[in-house]
Amino acid sequence: MLEEQLQKDYVQAMKGRDTVKASTINFLRAQLKNVRIDKRLEALEDKDVVAVIKKQIKQRQDSIEQYHRGGRVDLAEKEIAEMAILKNYLPQELSETVLQEFVDQAIRETGAQSIKDMGKAMRAVAALVQGKADNRTVSDLVRKSLGGA
């Protein structure tokens, strides 16, 4: 289970005095605890843990952009290091070729024909890939396939 792996890795990072990894995992564990409390669960399923990790990665991507705009390269590098640690806990992402096949399949199944049907196609693709692809990449592929440039 992913939560147990995070606990083990946190202990290892503390023993190895890897402060960046320890603080990143500790913050993630706190976020997972908040989700457990909100959902009133003893333990989270891996899909819930992955959702929290993806949210953390998205926040770091936003921070990196803002730090670069503000000229704070030092802070951006810290966020990049933390994001790399978090990405290690995500399932292997699908290649763009495989992803395009899922997009084509979803478009056929939903009968999507124009950019107006993008929401319908995105939901179908999301069900097919089950979190193994970046939403931005999926969105771009669906938009291209539906003729939205």
CATH 1.10.10.410 fits 96-145, yes or no: yes
**Class in CATH terms, 2-87:** mainly alpha
Q: HEC states along 26-92?
A: HHHHHHHHHHHHHHCCCCCCHHHHHHHHHHHHHHHHHHHHHHHHCCCHHHHHHHHHHHHHHHCCCCC
pLDDT digits (tens, 9 = 90+) for 54-111: 899 999 999 999 999 999 999 999 999 999 999 999 888 888 888 889 888 888 888 8
Instruction: Check: CB of residue 88 under 8 Å from CB of residue 122.
Output: no
Domain boundaries of the chain, sorted by first residue? 2-87, 96-145
- Note the pTM of the prediction, 2 decimals: 0.72
pLDDT digits (tens, 9 = 90+) for 103-124: 888 888 888 888 888 888 888 8
- Taking residue 123's Cβ as centre, other Cβ atoms within 10 Å add up to 12
